[in-house]
Amino acid sequence: MTAVVVATFAVVYLGMIAGGLPRLQLDRTGVALLGAITIVGSGALTLEEAAQAVHLPTILLLFSFMVISAQMRLGGFYTWVTRRVAALDASPAALLAVVITVVAVLSAVFSNDIVCLAVAPVLADACLRRRLDPVPFLLALACAANIGSAATLIGNPQNMLIGQRLALDFGGYLLEAIVPVVLGLAALWGLLAAPLRRAAPQPEPDAARFAALEAEYPAFDRWQTAKGLAVAAALVAVFLFTSWPHEVAALVGAGVLLLSRRFHSSQVMGLIDWELLVLFIGLFVVNQALAHTGLTHEAVQWLAAQGVHLGEPGPLFVVTLLLSNLVSNVPAVMLLLPVADGAHAGPTLALVSTLAGNLLIVGSIANIIVVDAARKRGIVIDWKRHAATGVPVTLATLAITAGWIAWRHGF
C-alpha cells in the first residue's frame, strides 16, 4: 500500500509542477481530485479517514470569503473603484502609486485573485483611454495584489490555511506582516515609476471600441456594495477583537449576504471558485495518506541529521521559496505546515509563499489572470516582460522580509 501512496503522491505533485498531466485533459484541480480518488479507491485511507483529513475550517473560511467577493463583484464595486482611480488628475507616477495602494488594500481583505480578475480589464481600458502604456500598470496590479494579500490571514488561500492550521492571531500576524508589505509596495513603485517618466504617449484610442467594452462592465449598485463592505468590515473587527472562530463568523457573514432581494443565490454561487475548493480537498487527502506511511517524518529526520532543520527560519525560508515556485504556493504550504514550529513559522510561511509568487507568471494565479486579461485587450505581457519586473520585485521583497523576520525574532 505504501508504494501506491508514494506513486500517487509523486504523480499528483508532478501535476502541480506541470499544471496537469501529459496527454490528459486534467489541470491541477483534476490531478488533485484524481489523486484523492486513487487514495480512497485503493484503500490507503477509508472514506472516514479521508473526510477527517480535510481541514473543514479552512474550506469554510475560503468559501465564505468567496461569497463576500462575489457580492462585491456583482455590485460593481471593483469596477467603480478602478474607474475612480483612473480618472484622477495625476501624473503617471502618482497614478501608479494610487493603483498600487488601492489594489494592495483590496487584496488584503477580498483576495488577490478576485481583485485581479475584476480590476485588470477595467484598468487596461482606462490606461489606453488616457494614452498610457498599460503594461507597467498591469504588472503593478499583479505584484501589488500578491504583496498586499500577504498583509492579512484572509488575503489569499494559503494565508487562510496557515492561519487556521496554526491558530495564528489575526492582529498579531498583521503586526508581523505590515512592515515588509508596506516596504515591498514602496519597492514595487520605485522599480516601475522611473520608466513611466520616460514613456511616450500611446496612440489615440478608438472611442467606439471603448464604449462597447464599457457596456460589459457590471453596473455599480450602491446598496449592495455598502452591504458587502459592512460585512467585510464587521468580520475584520471580529477577527481583531473577539475570539469567535473565524470560519463561523465568516459563514454568518456569507449567510447575511445571501439574504438578498437583488442577487439570486445562483448568481453568487456561479462566482464561487469551486475548483480551488476541490484542489484543497484533494491535496488534504493525498498529503494525509503520505503522512500515514511515516515517510514524511523519516524524511524530516533525515534532513535534520544532515544539518537541515526545516523548523529553523533559514531552511524554512529557502525551502518555502523553492517549493512555492516549483509546485505553487498552496501545495507548498500544505507540505511544510507539519514542520512549521515556533513564533517565526507562520509569518515566514505566509510571507515567503505569497511574495515568491511574483517571480514568474506561473508563480501565482493572480499573475496568470492579469496576463490573460491583457491578452484579451491585445496587450502582450510575455514571460520576459513579466520577469523583468517580477524577478527584482521578488528579490527586493524577500530581502526585506528576511531582514524583518531576523530582526523581529532575534536571528
Tens-place pLDDT, residues 137-163:
999 999 999 999 999 999 999 999 999
Tens-place pLDDT, residues 330-363:
888 888 888 887 788 899 999 999 999 998 887 8
Q: What average pLDDT does the chain have? A: 89
Residues in the chain: 411
Q: Encode 291-327: b = buried (16+ Cβ within 10 Å), e = exposed.
A: ebbeebeeebeeeeeeeebbebbebbbebbbebbbeb
Cβ count within 10 A of residue 383: 12
Cβ count within 10 A of residue 156: 30
Range of the domain at 6: 2-409
Is the Cα torsion angle 372, 378, 384, 385 positive or negative in sign?
negative
pLDDT of amino acid 206: 58
Q: Is 26 exposed, middle or buried (0-12, 13-18, 19+ CB in 10 A)?
A: middle
24 against 281, higher pLDDT: 281
Q: Encode 338-364: b = buried (16+ Cβ within 10 Å), e = exposed.
A: ebbeeebbbbbbbbbbbbbbbbbbbbb
> Per-residue confidence at 209, pLDDT binned at 50, 70, 90?
low
| C-alpha distance from residue 261 to each of 71, 225, 266, 319 (Å) | 13, 14, 13, 49
Domains: count for the chain = 1
